[in-house]
Amino acid sequence: MALGADAGGGAVERATGGFGSSVWPWRSLEIGCGVGLPGIVALALGLHVVFSDYDRAALGFAERNAIANGFEPGGGPGQFELLPLDWRSPPANLQVDLLLASDVIYEQRNLEPLIALIKTVLLPGGSCWLADPNRPLKSEFEMALKSNDLNFSQTAIQLDQIDSKTVHGTLFKIQA
């Protein structure tokens, strides 16, 4: 079964400010991809996506999900690649316009490597869009961004679920 990329309720439009695909960057990297939902949305918007994760099983999930949603491997717009990635040692030639991440700031030991990765892989003028479900390390992450002179904004987000629960979170937009 495919995990759909429909964020529901206009969430993608709200997050992107309604920009059309003509202003989107061409190459994006999703880190800690898991099943690859942010990358699937990026593919649907016409971006080239590199799914990455330390866990090779997660890369398999993202690949199957992308294919099940009608996308093909390759190097062009609307196509994807897979990359086993340790944040502490990214490939020297890995640079992207857009870095995507969701629910990746849950371990203290990963904050420093995450910040270093953001600074290393983003091209000048690039952005990192990181969604967090307001985990306890959120304020430490904010402080790490500030102490590393990274410009960022935050947007409160929420998703009303079918079972009447509301999930709250934060979308960080970090500039290179």
* Rounded average pLDDT over 114-134: 96
For the whole model, what pTM was predicted?
0.86
Q: What average pLDDT does the chain have?
A: 89
Mean pLDDT of 98-120: 97
pLDDT, mean of residues 128-152? 97
Torsion of CA 63, 11, 114, 112, to 10 degrees: -150
Residue 7 to residues 49, 92, 157, 160, Cα–Cα distance (Å):
18, 33, 12, 11
Q: What is the pLDDT of residue 10?
A: 46
Q: Which domains does the chain have, with CATH numbers?
A: 24-175 (3.40.50.150)
Of the two residues 158 and 4, the one the predictor is more confident about is 158
> Sorting pLDDT into bands at 50, 70 and 90, what band is 2?
very low
3-state secondary structure of 74: coil
Q: Which segments within 41-121 are labelled E, that is strand?
A: 48-53, 72-73, 79-84, 96-102
pLDDT bin (cut points 50, 70, 90) of residue 9 is very low
Better-predicted residue by pLDDT, 123 or 4: 123
